Amino acid sequence: MKSIVSLLMSATLSAFVAGSALAAGPAPVVAKPDLAKGEAAFAMCVACHAADGNSTTPVNPKLSQQHPEYLIKQLQEFKSGKRANAVMSGMVAGLSDDDMRNISYWLASKQAKPGFAKEKDTVALGERIYRGGIPDRQIAACASCHSPNGAGMPAQYPRISGQHADYTAAQLVQFRDGVRKNSIQMTQVAAKMNDREIKAVSDYMAGLR
C-alpha cells in the first residue's frame, strides 16, 4: 500500500513539474551579437568616437575594448533617461536592444589605444588615490573595483585604463554634483573628492596599461 501511495505522489509531482514547465514556456533565446551589423550601426557614432571607437577628442570617451555589458547598460540608460545627456539620448532613441548589443560587442572586439598621464606634479597623488584610496575620508581605492591595471571587471565595472583624463574628470564631477545618477557607488565615492583629487586620479588613469 505504501509503495502505491509513493508511486502516486511521484506521478503527481512529475505531472506538476511538467505542467509548470509548459506554462512557463521555453526559455527566451538571446540572439548572438552580429558584429557586422554592429559596425554598420556604429557609423553614426564615428564623428565623436572615431571609426574604431578610439576617440581622439578628450571630452568624448574611448569605447574600444570596453566590456559589452557595461556599454549596453549605458546605452539603455541614455535611452530611458536614467543617464541624462541630450546628445546621447537623441543618438540612441532609434536603437533597438539588438542594435545596442551588436554595437557594444563590436566595440568590445576593437583594440583600445593606450593613453598617458600628462601632469607630473600630481601623478603621485593620482596613483595614491587609485591604489590606496583616501582612508581618512573612507574613499575606497579605485583599483578595488576597476582592477590594478584599470581593466575593470566584466559585467560589473568598466575598463578605465587609457581613458581621456578630461572625460573621466567630467564624469566624476557629474557624479559628485548629482548630475549623473546611474551609479550609487560612484556618487558616494565622488561626493567626498575635491577638484584636485579628481583631476589627479583621472590623469593617472589615462596612463594605466
Mean pLDDT of 4-13: 46
- Among the four given CATH numbers 3.65.10.10, 1.10.760.10, 1.10.3720.10, 2.30.110.10, the one describing domain 123-206: 1.10.760.10
Single-letter residue type at 206: A
Binding annotation for heme c: 45, 48-49, 88, 142, 145-146, 186
How many other C-beta atoms are found inside a 10 Å radius of the C-beta of residue 75? 21
- Same CATH fold, 123-206 and 35-108? yes
Distance of CA 147 to the CA centre of its chain: 14
> DSSP for 166-202?
HHHHHHHHHHHHTS--S-HHHHHHHTT--HHHHHHHH
Q: Give the closest residue to 70 by CA, choosing from 150, 162, 158, 145.
A: 158
Q: Is the pLDDT of residue 8 over 60?
A: no
Which pLDDT band holds residue 28 (cuts at 50, 70, 90)?
A: low
Domain ranges within the chain, ordered by starting residue: 35-108, 123-206
Class of domain 35-108: mainly alpha
* Per-residue confidence (pLDDT) for residue 162, from 0 to 100: 98
C-alpha to C-alpha distance for 54 and 101, rounded to whole angstroms: 19
Binding annotation: 45, 48-49, 88, 142, 145-146, 186
Provide the 3-class DSSP secondary structure of residue 25. coil
What are 115-167's pLDDT values in tens digits? Answer: 999 999 999 999 999 999 999 999 999 999 999 999 999 989 999 999 999 99
Q: Is the pLDDT of residue 21 over 80?
A: no
Mean pLDDT of 178-202: 97
